[in-house]
Every structure is written in structure tokens, then in C-alpha cells.
Amino acid sequence: MNDKNKKRISKFLSLILRHNPGKIGLELDENGWADINELITKANKRNVRFSKESLEDIVETNDKKRFAFNDDKTKIRANQGHSITTIDLKLESLEPPAYLYHGTVGKFMSAIKTNGLQKMSRQHVHLTNELETAVKVGSRRGQAIILNIRAKDMHDKGYTFYQSENGVWLTDAVPAEFIAFKN
């Protein structure tokens, strides 16, 4: 499968496995897993064609490791980024590093200064320990602004952090007092 096709299928999988399985009449279980054969058949009916081998290729080579198989490779799910509120990935809570980054843009800054970081339409606020990743995430929307979050401090005050299988740090909300604003 060429890169363009892989990207197209990967975007389709993000839509189906994170946001709208009903679009192809698929159901995810309570932990977000989809049956692979059912996914392939139902996608095929809507003219999105891929094989089990191409799914394996996508899971392995996806730039952000967005998807994972279960142990016997009968099921697939998205590692993070869901908007479906009933899905529980059963992530284990983990102590974060002292600081984590969040990449955003200027137009959100006054709201963030007032309300802190909110999960908006996803299940969690997404944070990273890599500056470069935060820059990329922010740059999707314009000139990136990088916020420094006092994650360990939050954790010590009782806030829970999780790490998804692809290394993204997740938490429910970041109150403004834990964000270092430069101005």
C-alpha cells in the first residue's frame, strides 16, 4: 500500500475508531475495541477497501502509533483521541515528569488563562514531554504557542495522569495555576 493510501485509511480509522463507528454500522466494545473482520467487511460495503495485512502495515508504521491490536490480533482500537464518552481505555494512572508541554495557538490564550486547559471535544487534555511534538500539535492551527505545565506539582496535589500506549500524556483538565504563562 502506498503512503497516500495509508494516510487515507488511517484518517478513516481515526474517524471510525475514535468518533463515529455508527457511520459504517460498527459497534465498539466498552474498551474501544472493534472486531477486525467486521470492520473490514463494513468498511468495504462503504467502498473503503483494505485487507487485514494493510491494517497490520498501518498499525506498525503509523507515525503517531494511533492504533493497536489486541493480543490475538482479532481486534483493533485507537490508542487515544476519542470523543465517544462511554469508552474507557482502562489506562493506568502514572506519575508524570516535572513538566509537560501543550501546544496551542494565540486565539485560545485568553480562554485558557481564565479556564485552564479543558478537554474540549476529546476525553482528555493531551500533553507531551517532547517540545517538538507540542510545536507540531500547535502548528496544526497556526503559529504555535507552547505552554509549560507543572505536571508533577499537579500530580502531588491529587490530579491523575495517564499515558496512552503511544506516549501521549492525558489528564482531565489543567487549572490555570499550573500553567506557566510567559506574559
Q: Which is nearer to ligand HQG, 13 or 24 (CB)?
A: 13
Ramachandran sector of residue 167 (left: φ over 0; alpha: ψ -120 to 50; beta: rest): left
Q: Is 140 helix (H, G, I), strand (E, B) or coil?
A: coil
Q: Closest Cα to residue 34, out of 60, 63, 14, 48? A: 14
Window of 22-30, 47-55, 111-119, 156-164 that interacts with ligand HQG by CB under 6 A: 111-119
Shortest approach of ligand HQG to residue 157 CB, angstroms?
A: 19
112 to 151, contacts with ligand HQG by CB under 6 A?
A: 112, 115, 117-118, 120-122, 126, 137, 141
Write phi, then psi, for 175 (nearest 5 degrees): -60, 150
**Is residue 77 involved in binding ligand HQG (CB under 6 A)?**
no
The answer to the question of residue 108 lying near ligand HQG (CB under 6 A) is yes
The reply to whether 66 sits near ligand HQG by the rule CB under 6 A is yes
Cα–Cα distance measured from residue 122 to residue 172, given in angstroms and rounded to the nearest whole number: 10
The nearest distance, CB 45 to ligand HQG, in angstroms, is 25
Dihedral pair phi/psi, residue 117, rounded to 5°: -85, 125
Task: Please report whether residue 180 would count as binding ligand HQG according to CB under 6 A.
Answer: no
Residues 27-46 that bind ligand HQG (CB under 6 A): none
By C-beta, is 93 or 115 nearer to ligand HQG?
A: 115
Cell triple for 33: 475495541
Amino acid in position 86: T
For residue 14, what is the enclosing H or E element? helix 3-14
The site for ligand HQG (CB under 6 A) is made up of 64, 66, 81, 104, 108, 111-112, 115, 117-118, 120-122, 126, 137, 141, 168
